[in-house]
């Protein structure tokens, strides 16, 4: 594939966008075949999943097609698609993270035939990294984190149980979460980071 920086490619993109904006399916098909491998590769670098990257590439082009008349207003198609792909990919990852967060306890009830599903594998990877990070917390932070995040207690309930102030509980949690976020951000790829950071949202 040629670099978009070449004037010939840039001008051709503009012409194809203009035609596609009028509903020309042939022009849109040319855009699709020119850029779908690039979008797929970019998404794959982020999600580390061929199936998910392929779905993202298809969804990105559905978004592009739905722009219709606005297609002619795109100044730089390569840059536009890159930003659109990145934003959509992160949106997909956040959605996965929320789904996993909402049903993470169900993962323990998965039957053997579910053990190789993509969501389960990502969940287990994220769980392993998070547990490694938790083990490195100072004892008091680890205890407070466990009570708040793993047992679901509120700050005031933890304060009462440990006979410390609510402010102390909150401080321990803030330090623990800061450490855990930094740890997972440097020990895994973006897909798992997004999931873990969603799981590590501070509770009150």
pTM (predicted TM-score): 0.49
Q: 17, 63 in Cβ contact below 8 A?
A: no
**Contact criterion met (CB below 8 Å) for 19 and 27:** yes
Which helix (DSSP H) or strand (DSSP E) does residue 120 occupy?
helix 118-135
Alpha-carbon span 127 to 87, nearest angstrom? 25
Question: Domain-by-domain residue ranges, the chain?
Answer: 7-101, 110-199
Instruction: Tell me what pLDDT residue 167 has.
Output: 92
CATH of the domain spanning 110-199: 1.10.10.10
Quote the CA–CA distance of 175 and 54 in Å, as a whole number: 39
Give pLDDT tens digits for 49-76: 777 888 888 888 888 888 877 888 888 8
Stretches where the chain sits below pLDDT 70 are: 1-8, 97-126, 185, 187-204
**What integer pLDDT is reported at residue 111 of this predicted model?**
45
CATH number of the domain at 7-101, out of 3.20.20.80, 1.10.1740.10, 3.30.465.10, 1.10.10.10? 1.10.1740.10
Residue-wise pLDDT for 13-40, tens only, equals: 888 888 888 888 888 888 888 898 999 8
What is the spatial distance between Cα 190 and Cα 46, in angstroms, rounded to a whole number?
Answer: 6
Task: Please tell me whether residue 111 adopts helix, strand or coil conformation.
Answer: coil
Please tell me what DSSP assigns to residue 202: -
């Amino acid at each position: 594939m040629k670099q978009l920086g070449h004037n010939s490619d840039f001008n051709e993109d503009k012409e194809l966008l203009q035609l596609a904006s009028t509903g020309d399916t042939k022009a849109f098909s040319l855009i699709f075949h020119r850029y779908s491998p690039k979008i797929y590769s970019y998404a794959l670098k982020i999600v580390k999943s061929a199936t998910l990257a392929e779905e993202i590439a298809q969804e990105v082009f559905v978004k592009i097609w739905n722009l219709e008349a606005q297609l002619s207003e795109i100044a730089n198609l390569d840059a536009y698609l890159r930003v659109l792909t990145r934003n959509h990919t992160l949106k997909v990852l956040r959605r996965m993270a929320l789904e996993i967060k909402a049903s993470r306890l169900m993962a323990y009830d998965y039957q053997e035939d579910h053990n190789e599903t993509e969501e389960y594998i990502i969940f287990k990877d994220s769980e392993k990294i998070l547990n490694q990070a938790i083990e490195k917390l100072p004892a008091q932070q680890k205890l407070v984190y466990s009570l708040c995040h793993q047992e679901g207690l509120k700050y005031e309930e933890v304060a009462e149980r440990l006979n410390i102030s609510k402010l102390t509980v909150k401080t321990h949690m803030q330090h623990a979460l800061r450490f855990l976020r930094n740890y997972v951000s440097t020990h895994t790829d973006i897909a798992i980071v997004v999931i873990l950071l969603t799981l590590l949202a501070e509770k009150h």
